[in-house]
Chain A
């Protein structure tokens, strides 16, 4: 030793101690590496499964609802679209300063800051909706504020580029995303599509992590795009004509529709009053949601007479030229069938007179001919057969509409006073049908006898681009014989030529073929019998050139205007619709 330690009592062994400590540290490092190998390599599968159990979650990816289009000036234009709007919601627990947050929200979206503040102070819920249907720029402005506990969520809403047009025909989509009323309800499943699935690795709050490799996405099957048979020009004019016609006739409600004779395609359906489908939730009276033209049957009145006539012609019990002695009334049991005063009592009448003068006794006489001269079981069963099996009454037509009604036809053999009931049914009382059923039945009776299912859908374009054109669907081909069809048209055109002035038409448009029949139906009391002073005006007619093109049905409920409801209230609406069709070139005139 060169340097002797001063007052040292033992030999320092610091280096050995340092190295021992160092070795211990290395051993710990080694143990850690071994442990890591155990956890990460040997037990990897176990921990990977444990991780995925918590991290992997499944989500539904909503499908976007199919849009709806219709024809306008020969082009297909959208009538229902989707739009992203934003819901502003809050979790009050996280809102530390409700006053400041409410003020900030009110600054951006307007509204009452105090009511927002009250909502943000609720302590019994973790979810309050402050506003709905916010536009994107407002939602983004709100997101930028980064208000704690307040967030926006995207939601898809229907928008209506044509405004209120065809509202009842379309229906609406409620907040749960279900179609209600009209087309939205009838085609809900097709429009809705099928939601997709996202299996995603998420954070602890369940928000998918975009970066992850293990995400599995099943794309949603988007809803089908539906193209309607409706012509928006006709629809607009029909709605306008109905509205002004109802005002003129001092009626509160009514319906009208136009259907294509040779295909059953519905070109326009109007009801009044209507509503705004974009703000359906503001509508207090739910009855305006109904498409009354297909969902509200009524006792149709005299517009039934052409169909009774066609049935008798088709059965061969009369022909177009048949004449008969009309006594002016028929006593059936303790009831009596009479005519209106203007018909003028007992006389010899022709079949054409029955329609032109709207003789109830004539319709009763037609029914008698079906029974070989009297109203009996055979007459009832024959007329029942025509009404239900030929003309399709008593059951829904199958048009693509929610809440379609089928109407009711009395049973030919069950019940009391069957004969008077059936006499009534011959001129459209004691039975009910919808305007749509009347239109489809008349179309079949004048087009040579083919009943087409009335339809609103022209084409469906599936999510994968496959187009399905909806062909006219023939329900029955021998509703009446072809000759009967010709005869009926000439009878109805004769009736029109005699009466068009009453319907407010200035000329008879000889270059077109127009046939019409009015109806002034008594309104039944709920307890039985009819009101003396309440009538529904109905109108059934068609227009075409060489062949009939459109059937038009108008219904005016309980007009206050003087005169017969059919000709004075419903007639002018028909006239204005027909003149619109002619002026717009919708009808092909006769060739000679």
Chain B
């Protein structure tokens, strides 16, 4: 074992029992596989979709490739930000998210952009909620790590109250003003997961859960379209023509795929039957093309990707970075579950993209940024006891290997 001084970057913040090593390349491999699957689906339905909208044949695939290229650049940047500088991004991110949200709320609603969710500039558009996700991620990780370090994680005034205020503000802005219940759900999932992993007492979590259930009903019942979605979800076949149309067409796409699928070039539902075939409904089109075997394979691939994230969480160098990975896992897994769940009739429809797979620049770029962050963190492992992470009997359970590789050759006492 070489002394730590021999490697300048063996720890990122001078923490104890820390070790720098190769990052988790399997994370990149899994992401790339998912991106390629998404590209193949978008590529195969691109000409048909383009024809319906009078666009050039390669319009969709070109835009998607551009997004992946941009996303890769963002990935490389985020993957190389020094982790100890990350907390300094908190303020610019919050200001950026706030500004973007104000602009989105100020811009008028058009037929193409039917809610105050997007900021548009020079032909490009961006959902402001993606910036909110990033800001929430960094701020909350720093906030919770700080509270844990100071021993205030179950303090009502210092911890619980600010969380409720943030929850309230996000709820009003995203769920009410932007009418984006799906994204609000993702933000809530991130918050709960991070608070949960940070070690907030269970009774507080139950309290937050109660508040959320109450506000869900408060937010759902006054809006006719949301009531429709819930009743549609409960009984989709009843109204296949109007409000249940997309749900019905999604089930038809999935069900008609069969065991082996219709084949890459033989999707029918993408041609005008299933709305949002390239975006929110892309899983149903994928299922129609590749059948049960392909769908199960895709879900397995997502599960493997999330397993990587879980492993990195377990080995994270400190609580701040662990909470960042927690937030990313909550973010991506919630979107995946909400999206696929809606397509197979287990959850109501929400306008939410499937990470990696769905067509759409915003989604791809921000997902790759998140993966870049996790990739960055995967360079470090903390082993042995660490007061910030686990204490007591838990500490002994901490893995002594770095993510995805064999055991270290030596072990520090």
Contacts and interface: CB of A to CB of B under 8 A. Distances in A.
A51 interface: yes
A521 B197 CA distance: 116
A470 B380 CA distance: 95
A11 B148 CA distance: 11
Contact of A36 (B196, B252, B273, B344): B344
Nearest to A46: B255
Contacts of A51: 252-253, 255-256, 268-269
A5 B149 CA distance: 9
B57 interface: no
B302 interface: yes
Contact of B255 (A9, A29, A44): A44
A327 to B, nearest CB: 91
Given A12-B389, A35-B346, A29 B302 contact: yes
B23 interface: no
Contacts of A202: 271
Most buried by B among A10, A22, A31, A146: A22
Contacts of A2: 385
A209 B268 contact: yes
A203 B344 contact: no
Contacts of B12: none
Contacts of B251: 39, 47
Given A41-B259, A47-B255, A18 B313 contact: yes
Interface string B253-281: 11111110000011011011100000000
B386 interface: yes
B350 interface: no
B193 interface: yes
Most buried by B among A25, A41, A48, A211: A25
A46 B345 CA distance: 15
Interface in A7-41: 7-19, 21-22, 25-26, 28-29, 31-33, 35-37, 39-41
A213 B392 contact: no
- Contact residues on B (Cβ < 8 Å of other chain), bracket: 35 or more
A25 B303 contact: yes
Contact of B390 (A14, A36, A50): A14
B252 A25 contact: no
Contacts of A346: none
B295 A36 contact: yes
Contact of B299 (A4, A5, A33, A148): A33
B255 A1 contact: no
A201 B268 CA distance: 8
B232 to A, nearest CB: 17
A252 interface: no
Nearest to B309: A22
A21 B255 contact: no
Given A11-B392, A29-B303, A203-B272, A40 B197 contact: no
Interface string B325-355: 0100000010001001100111000000000
Contact of B392 (A1, A7, A33): A1
Contacts of A213: 266
A148 B54 contact: yes
B394 A204 contact: no
B98 interface: no
B114 to A, nearest CB: 19
B180 interface: no
Interface string B135-170: 000000000000010110010000000000000000
Contacts of B394: 11-16
Given A5-B387, A47-B252, A51-B252, A17 B268 contact: no
Interface in B175-220: 193, 196-199, 201
A365 to B, nearest CB: 85
A204 B271 contact: yes
B24 interface: no
Contact of B333 (A8, A16, A25, A46): A25
A39 B346 contact: no
Nearest to B151: A7
A205 interface: yes
B28 to A, nearest CB: 21
A212 interface: yes
A41 B313 CA distance: 37
Given A11-B394, A12-B392, A32-B340, A41 B258 contact: yes
Given A3-B385, A51-B256, A12 B390 contact: yes
A204 B272 contact: yes
A37 B293 CA distance: 9
A21 B193 contact: yes
A40 B150 contact: no
B386 A39 contact: no
Contact of B287 (A16, A40, A212): A40
Contacts of A5: 387, 391
A3 B154 contact: no
Given A15-B397, A209-B271, A33 B296 contact: yes
Nearest to A43: B255
Contact of A40 (B258, B269, B326, B391): B258
B229 interface: no
A4 B198 CA distance: 18
B291 interface: yes
Interface in B366-395: 385-387, 389-394
A55 interface: yes
A466 interface: no
A231 B137 CA distance: 91
B348 to A, nearest CB: 15
A177 to B, nearest CB: 29
Nearest to B271: A203
B226 interface: no
Nearest to A48: B256
Contacts of B385: 1-3
B248 to A, nearest CB: 8
Nearest to B346: A35
B19 interface: no
Nearest to A56: B268
A132 to B, nearest CB: 24
Contact of B391 (A1, A33, A44, A48): A1
B389 A14 contact: yes
Contacts of A26: 303
Interface in A192-249: 201-205, 209, 211-213
A31 B337 CA distance: 11
A32 B301 CA distance: 13
A41 B293 CA distance: 10
B337 A146 contact: no
B54 A14 contact: no
A79 to B, nearest CB: 41
Contacts of B151: 6-9
A22 to B, nearest CB: 5
Interface string A531-564: 0000000000000000000000000000000000
B387 A6 contact: yes
Contact of A35 (B333, B337, B344, B387): B344
A40 B295 contact: yes
Contacts of B310: 18-19, 22
Nearest to B302: A29
B308 to A, nearest CB: 11
Nearest to A55: B268
Nearest to B310: A22
Given A36-B254, A40-B292, A46-B255, 9 more contacts: A15-B314, A16-B397, A18-B310, A28-B337, A29-B303, A36-B299, A47-B256, A50-B255, A213-B266
Interface of B: 16, 48, 52, 54, 148, 150-151, 154, 193, 196-199, 201, 251-259, 265-266, 268-269, 271-273, 287, 291-292, 295-296, 299-300, 302-303, 306-307, 310, 313-314, 322, 326, 333, 337, 340-341, 344-346, 385-387, 389-394, 397-398
16 contacts: A3-B386, A9-B154, A15-B314, A16-B394, A36-B296, A36-B299, A39-B254, A40-B295, A41-B258, A47-B251, A50-B252, A50-B255, A55-B273, A146-B54, A203-B268, A203-B273
